[in-house]
Structure 1
């Protein structure tokens, strides 16, 4: 911080009032030293207390704002002119800017009329120039020397007083402004890396704002039994606080409201401007390892949660700051990378499909981070809405070109209770591949949009978002699906009540209009009229929506051509349904065929 000739170098970190600056030195392996400097021979109006118990002196706010906007974050050169031991203050001269000579901050404040020059036996070395600038400001009636009645009336802020019931009601503010709406504010204090004391504009309410989705190390709390003892900060707490102070303290920010807790604290995303571009403060502090993601507040976020998780994952891999001794816990999930385009051949269930990649290889993909109702096996009945979830996926992506982004693999062990399960555990383990599937489709306005089939299922109540442990891998779209899930849980859209049966179990009753007309034409001449099931007819080959041929569940046109009939005249392997009552394309129900005589009670 020192420099030859008694001059010191630093950066202006905070502006408490119109005549006082807090300057910090250069960073060398931790938070640097600081000095509180009052501009020599100047006195500015005093600000009122935050709680509204005392009012501003006239033009106190305007004076502070002038100095804050001019100097905050600026590198400077300063010198201590004199000290007043009785009030433990240091008075000095501060210069900013790269010009030659640099700008004297005291000159600028006095010339703008936002501070007065005072006498005394201890004076600034530039007192004569200060007196001249003050006389000029009075003559020009600028700043606090104005005679304008409107400016004089507006010179004192109308601060809300908490004691009179005028304190901020955070819940009312959230309901009035709306979730996800930005609110202008000035950061007045940094309590820790992700807890801020802000002044909301233009109401001048003071509120505590938590950076949504993140938590940084605590600066500690005072011991009630020993209030004089300094609290003990957690590791990296000072570094996190310093990181926040260097970027947003005394800066104008936008707080995107996300939620409120029971202590009347606001949760939001904090954005500030760098080179005329908005920057998310939360993304910055989590990327350097000075904050961690917490699910209980991350659930409030409408956007940006995925980027916070990606930043935390990068910090863990780099073992930065609080993750310096991070060791990945053992887990069945393994992060995988890879993206490709392919065609959906089969829909196994609402959250599992088969995709054929450009090389002709088929992959069984489970949708990452969601769970759809199970279809059931053999004699097990499908879970409620399992058929609807599967049918929804079929109607949207069967036969279509999709983009697959692999997310993670999961090992599934051998079933418990079987003989020799422990010895054969490794051999019996299966690996499930989880990924995100998106596709291009025309919206209601006719524009082509990218849709995520997993998000579509969650939004319609046909699937739920899975809960992951803190270190588990998950879909990159995981947090974007949490809000639709909350809406579904509140409205119970699509998802049945506990124990309630599914109202729809047969796909033929959910045929689209274009299928209803096509199905009767595909039935054999002896089949029932009106689109019923052809129980005694040979299974027709139905053209499925978005497919080249075969059933809607699987594109099997080529396989059917290659399949040879059974020597006994029984259906071929691709003609036999998987189970009694299996449903196929176009709403046609194919069941195991029985002789006419068996159904009619006579001979064939």
Structure 2
């Protein structure tokens, strides 16, 4: 009968089973006829003091190992010669599909690892006679049991317990240990023999949990769904196999580890096939990458296999466009919530998945008793968390991946606590950075702990836990043992007397900086002034926006036309942004002074000309023709196609002419072919400043370069002349430039340019924001370039997108990322004026004005 051997009980007994059909197949124990191998060690039965541990008999373990390596995982054939009344079966086992294969009993006797039962030998039994002959030959050769010394050295020092398992695990430093899997309890718990010291330990797989067999009060076991299949899955792959185990942790005397087999990682396979689920409490110690386990579990969920057959994803009801999208951040609501603007123009509130913002100590327990609103500044680290998000996100585009939708809760469900509306919880990233993870790593938020079966969590939950562990270890923010930061902020936005007292102080301060905390209407705002640590309400001078609806003593006042549009317009431009500089002009003043009116005439006229909003019905009065001054020199607009290859931190960029692109490709192909035919000798090149060379980039390819600085052989500064990027390399990654590919054959293809009419921000953060925007928009893309004027370092140019013909620099001004560099040349005034108007629209100018004041708490800013 052809079958598979799954375990070896001793040197003369094996467990076999057939192929699975609809479930784990039945098992049979076959004892080898006519031979006997030594008995293996046995542990005393716990709870029975009259039993004792028994050691191995000499050569017993070696016989077991010989048989194990012969048959485990192999197809075998067996014959049953005798069956006892107790059901024990005796027979012969052969390797292969039939009895023509190797006779296992004969092999054991030949190696001196088993003795022949000679009692009751029948003369007509050729199998017994052959075994006796083989035993005589083993005796003559002094093999195994018949060797000199009695075999005392073959008895294992088997250790059933470890005195201090935590220290034992720590001493291994998470290095792989050779082992044999002796028993499989369920899909994720095994008994392993650690080699070469013969520790017999129970190991639970880190990061996962399989369906198990629940032990009832009467001692019986009730299998959970798929528990038998999970056990069979692990058993058929690992039982009595040679493996390596990484012992990773030992909490509460339970050893957690990962079992590595040449054919794969059983932990990941169990998850992928739907036999296990991830568990948070042990996921943190998994050394092979928790993201692999999450990906394997996600694969099983998507295929709805086994334990996930009834699984419904938290975002199953959402379309793909609603699950992942790019949006612009308009407002930071809290340390865990933002308002974004979708491409459709709709505003949507997004909550960061699986994080909890800072809160007062004991707030969770007493939240039903103390329902008072607490300002942002009163909660430790809440202001720091909000500021981190504000500086990082406001006005920028982010990638949003919706993880789950938290259903609305009623007051009854929350035990009297105010109800929460439905929440869209998502992972928000910008520039590849997970905002929630960054917030937690700085100790400005904590991770929410879930029930094991709660699937409504961040898709990057393990990264959040790891970030929190780092923050705790380093004592960051909420986890710091230092005194919490205290912010004493004077709110004078609603008190006339306080406002009048503060006015002289604010006027003396001159130019100040502030953050727009709230937008009441298109021209009425609330500012937080960090230097003065106060909150003020102020109005924009020289303009008047439509009033919104509001409660009045006589009833609700109807909103004026375009009031909502004006409010949203102002919000989009300045809400939670830093505004600077400005002057406090007055308190309780209807700001209609001549200066401010004159300042806004050009903008009013611009709005009338395009008939926007309030001016939709405006009729232009006839004007006399104005003579146009003839310019001595006309601006030349001769755009050519370029390919942008590099953006510098100073907002310069490098580009290649598209026209010569084929020449560069041909040169690179020929150069690399020659290098492949005759590879340079490593270390033979001595770099000197100014020399041209070839350098091996991170992609393994060679490129033309110039040496800019030599600090040491291990630190050579190179500049890639065809692409514009720079790198520090070891001299072993440099070689001489072949003469056939020198700059005489083809000049350097990367040319440095700067944006015309643009002031590079002096502030590091502002400059970084501008650079990030340019990198996202034009790096490694084809654009149109026109040289406007020369500069000290490089030409200053205007750059257009190849498809839309929109000006890149103008877009930066509109986004409020840069200021305009005013040029005096007459032929450039048209471009300067156009860019200057956009500069004004972006509210990056130095004047902000109020429209009206209703009480003394509102300030006029110029």
TM-score, reference length from structure 1: 0.69
SS at match of 1:113: coil
CA RMSD of aligned residues (A): 5.0
The question of whether the paired residues in 2 share the 8 Å contact of 1:364 and 1:433 is answered with: no
SS at match of 1:475: coil
Correspondences of 1:474-513 after superposition (within 5 Å): 474-489=457-472, 492-495=475-478, 501-502=484-485
Whether 1:434 aligns to 2:426 is: yes
Q: What is the Cα deviation at residue 353 of structure 1? A: 6.4
The question of whether the paired residues in 2 share the 8 Å contact of 1:526 and 1:537 is answered with: yes
Match of 2:841 in 1: 562
Unaligned runs of 5+ in 2: 45-51, 360-371, 413-418, 490-508, 514-529, 533-579, 586-758, 772-811, 820-834, 852-856
Correspondences of 1:136-535 after superposition (within 5 Å): 136-147=137-148, 152=151, 154-160=153-159, 167-178=162-173, 180-221=174-215, 223-224=217-218, 231-262=221-252, 264-274=253-263, 279-298=264-283, 300-316=285-301, 318-324=303-309, 326=310, 328=312, 348=332, 351=336, 366-373=351-358, 380-381=376-377, 383-392=379-388, 404=399, 406-410=401-405, 413=408, 432=424, 434-437=426-429, 439=431, 452-469=434-451, 470-489=453-472, 492-495=475-478, 501-502=484-485
Work out the CA distance in 2 between the residues paired with 1:390 and 1:554: 21
SS at match of 1:154: helix
SS at match of 1:37: strand
Q: What is the Cα deviation at residue 199 of structure 1? A: 1.9
Instruction: State which drifts further: 103-112 or 311-320.
Output: 311-320
Q: What is the Cα deviation at residue 56 of structure 1? A: 0.8
Work out the CA distance in 2 between the residues paired with 1:390 and 1:303: 35
Correspondences of 1:51-90 after superposition (within 5 Å): 53-85=53-85, 88-90=87-89
The question of whether the paired residues in 2 share the 8 Å contact of 1:9 and 1:76 is answered with: yes
Match of 1:127 in 2: 128
Per-residue CA deviation, residues 30-56 of structure 1 (Å, 9 max, x unaligned), is 221211111222211111114681111
Work out the CA distance in 2 between the residues paired with 1:270 and 1:318: 25
The question of whether the paired residues in 2 share the 8 Å contact of 1:200 and 1:207 is answered with: yes
Work out the CA distance in 1 between the residues paired with 2:319 and 2:112: 63
The question of whether the paired residues in 1 share the 8 Å contact of 2:77 and 2:99 is answered with: no
Work out the CA distance in 2 between the residues paired with 1:190 and 1:459: 40
Work out the CA distance in 1 between the residues paired with 2:421 and 2:818: 29
- Change over 3 Å in CA distance of 1:379–1:243 after alignment to 2: closer
The question of whether the paired residues in 2 share the 8 Å contact of 1:293 and 1:312 is answered with: yes
SS at match of 2:271: helix
Match of 2:114 in 1: 115
Instruction: State which drifts further: 462-471 or 308-317.
Output: 308-317
SS at match of 2:466: helix
Work out the CA distance in 2 between the residues paired with 1:415 and 1:143: 77
Per-residue CA deviation, residues 286-334 of structure 1 (Å, 9 max, x unaligned), is 333333444444455455444444444544554433445x3649x7996
Q: What is the Cα deviation at residue 368 of structure 1? A: 3.3
SS at match of 2:67: helix
Of the two, which has the highest radius of gyration? 2
The question of whether the paired residues in 1 share the 8 Å contact of 2:427 and 2:436 is answered with: no
Match of 2:7 in 1: 14
Match of 1:583 in 2: none
Work out the CA distance in 2 between the residues paired with 1:565 and 1:50: 81
Instruction: State which drifts further: 236-245 or 311-320.
Output: 311-320
SS at match of 2:215: coil
Q: What is the Cα deviation at residue 21 of structure 1? A: 0.6
SS at match of 1:381: helix
Instruction: State which drifts further: 180-189 or 116-125.
Output: 116-125
Unaligned runs of 5+ in 1: 1-7, 418-424, 441-450, 507-524, 573-579, 581-590, 596-604
Q: What is the Cα deviation at residue 111 of structure 1? A: 2.8
Match of 2:656 in 1: none
TM-score, reference length from structure 2: 0.50
Match of 1:46 in 2: 39
Q: What is the Cα deviation at residue 57 of structure 1? A: 0.9
Q: What is the Cα deviation at residue 59 of structure 1? A: 1.6
The question of whether the paired residues in 1 share the 8 Å contact of 2:210 and 2:227 is answered with: yes
Work out the CA distance in 2 between the residues paired with 1:185 and 1:505: 62
Work out the CA distance in 1 between the residues paired with 2:342 and 2:136: 81
- Change over 3 Å in CA distance of 1:565–1:119 after alignment to 2: closer
Work out the CA distance in 1 between the residues paired with 2:251 and 2:121: 51
- Change over 3 Å in CA distance of 1:346–1:192 after alignment to 2: same
Match of 2:101 in 1: 102
The question of whether the paired residues in 1 share the 8 Å contact of 2:278 and 2:294 is answered with: yes
SS at match of 1:408: strand
Q: What is the Cα deviation at residue 72 of structure 1? A: 0.8
SS at match of 1:134: helix
Q: What is the Cα deviation at residue 68 of structure 1? A: 1.1
The question of whether the paired residues in 1 share the 8 Å contact of 2:94 and 2:101 is answered with: yes
SS at match of 2:405: strand
Q: What is the Cα deviation at residue 340 of structure 1? A: 7.8
- Change over 3 Å in CA distance of 1:475–1:288 after alignment to 2: same
Per-residue CA deviation, residues 147-190 of structure 1 (Å, 9 max, x unaligned), is 4x6x945311112365xxxx453223233234x44333222112
The question of whether the paired residues in 2 share the 8 Å contact of 1:407 and 1:474 is answered with: no
Aligned residues: 513
